[in-house]
Structure 1
Amino acid sequence: MALHGLPMLFAGFAFFVLNLFLMPLPHHVYGQNDPPAIGLCDSSVRIHGYKCNEFQVTTQDGYILGLQRIPEGRSAGGDSANKPPVLLQHGVLVDGMVWLMNAPEQNLPMILADKGFDVWIANTRGTRFSRRHTYLQPNQSEFWNWPWDDLIAYDLPAVFDYVHNQTGQKLHYVGHSLGTLLALASFTEGLLVNQVKSAALLSPIAFLSHMKTAFDNAAAKAFAAEATAFFGMAEINPLGEAGQRFLKIVCAKPGVNCFNLLRAITGKNCCLNASAVDFFLKNELQSTATKNMVHLAQRQDALSDTEDVAQLLDDLKFHDVLKLTVQFVKDYAHADFVSGVNATDIVYSQVYKFFMNHHF
């Protein structure tokens, strides 16, 4: 796996699964053809005293993606034109809002902005801020005719190009869950590498051969085998009627215990507070393409396990060791990396230090 000596930080725990896939909780579904009336900036950034700008980026295949920018911290200082840009890419079934669950001093975008970075937040196609197309509508099946390969081919390059054109600089990258897979697949093909200074990958995905729970196994196998026929639709809303029916199928499998569904799916998150959970329940989950979920389930690239990450690191053994940093957080599960109340000290401080070590 050749990454051309790109500085990379890997942080991960034993496993995570599909970004809290199919939690049976209340969910507000935004309009089919229009973006939400209140953008991410107004709902979750400006209220804390930060500047924030909303942008729209059009991919080569016509999807119009929402992109937000926090150009500086609350105590702005220095030349804003020369602040290093950093792009945050979320995982599957959530959107850019997932980075903003906690208070400013506990969420990564605002921490980086306060430390002098020009922060950009991506939102993949189909999520609430990216439900537009140059000629297709979300109520058309063709709008949802894409796997995650298209996120690599179209979404990521469009956003990278836009940030680069706006800032004139290479960017730092932070990916979580699916956001790490997109980066690894792109970088190993030699795409976008020349536009990146460094990449921090939280719960990295590259291989999957070790599953930890009965729920994980049942969900992946059931989705791969039954999803397209079962849902009978191009869009999957995890908390819609079809999503709930699928959840019942998985929970009825032998050995699957869905009594504590959050723990069954994501593992035992150590460090979530009630306000972060409440924020999540009000804002996520998000829709994606059924084709995308089937593709992920067939590859089973939805989990990150210590042994699979070890295989990834073994493939990187010829990488420049001075440009590779690995962090293992023993007590963390999936959601802790984006919303753990102590992630500021345990994870984000290391991300900041890593970026500063490769700030060139």
Structure 2
Amino acid sequence: MLGNLRPIVRKLFRSLCIPGVNCYDLVIAITGKNCCLNASTVELVIDYETMSTSTMNLDHLAQMIRNGLVSKYDYENPFKNWKHYGQFSPPRYNMSNIPTDLPLFLSYGAYDALSAPTDVELLIADLKSHNKDKIEVQLVESYAHVDFILGVNANQTVYTHIIDFFNRH
């Protein structure tokens, strides 16, 4: 069923990209102001980044944004939560369960509308007890969401740093 939605979503995007409406503006509206896309990458976004996701995933994301907590899915029924978690409300994810010696590389963009910098900063704060030699954080001031995937300079800006990080660890 979800696989059948991809052509529908792509068709919707394409129908919105009529003369006078720039498809790049649609990408910006969803992902933030990307710095490093060209016309061909915008086409790739429309063709491949319009993948379907579960309604439950979107609901879960909205719950975490509304509550300001990184927690498991709230079934919004205490008895359903009890059935799934053994408690009436969903448990928070315990970031201290992440081994402190596990190498972590976090990269985020200042203009990302989907992985907002304030959210990433909350995650970084939750990881404050992590071994400082095993965690690296990269803020790319000019990047938004799609720049990490399709930015014309992503190889030099992000990927070489990731490879170097993994080679060190």
Matched, 1:269 2:41: no
Return closer, same or farther for 1:328/1:356 CA change in 2, 3 Å cut-off: same
Corresponding residue number in structure 2 for 1:293? 58
Corresponding residue number in structure 2 for 1:308? 119
Superposition deviation, residue 285 in structure 1: 1.5
Distance in 2, matches of 1:272 and 1:286, equals 19
8 Å contact kept, 2:27–2:42: no
Q: Secondary structure at the match of 2:138?
A: strand
Higher relative contact order (CA 8 A, sep 6+): 1
Corresponding residue number in structure 1 for 2:97? none
Return closer, same or farther for 1:336/1:282 CA change in 2, 3 Å cut-off: same
Count of residues paired in the alignment: 111
Superposition deviation, residue 321 in structure 1: 0.4
Matched, 1:282 2:83: no
Corresponding residue number in structure 2 for 1:322? 133
Distance in 1, matches of 2:6 and 2:33, equals 21
- For 1:137-148, what aligned pairs fall within 5 Å after superposition? none
Return closer, same or farther for 1:315/1:238 CA change in 2, 3 Å cut-off: same
Corresponding residue number in structure 1 for 2:25? 260
Superposition deviation, residue 290 in structure 1: 2.0
Superposition deviation, residue 238 in structure 1: 7.1
Amino acid at match of 1:336: D
Corresponding residue number in structure 2 for 1:342? 153
Structure 1, unmatched stretches of 5+, are 1-31, 33-125, 129-137, 139-236, 245-258
Return closer, same or farther for 1:264/1:284 CA change in 2, 3 Å cut-off: closer
Q: TM-score, normalised by structure 1?
A: 0.28
Amino acid at match of 1:291: M
Amino acid at match of 2:154: A
Return closer, same or farther for 1:355/1:303 CA change in 2, 3 Å cut-off: same
Distance in 1, matches of 2:44 and 2:57, equals 26
Distance in 1, matches of 2:134 and 2:145, equals 25
Distance in 1, matches of 2:8 and 2:25, equals 20
Q: Secondary structure at the match of 2:165?
A: helix
Higher helix share: 2
Residues 170-194 of structure 1: CA deviation (Å, up to 9, x unaligned): xxxxxxxxxxxxxxxxxxxxxxxxx
Q: What value does the CA root-mean-square deviation take over the aligned residues?
A: 2.9
Residues 101-142 of structure 1: CA deviation (Å, up to 9, x unaligned): xxxxxxxxxxxxxxxxxxxxxxxxx5x5xxxxxxxxx8xxxx
Amino acid at match of 1:303: L
Superposition deviation, residue 346 in structure 1: 0.6
8 Å contact kept, 2:37–2:152: yes
Superposition deviation, residue 292 in structure 1: 2.4
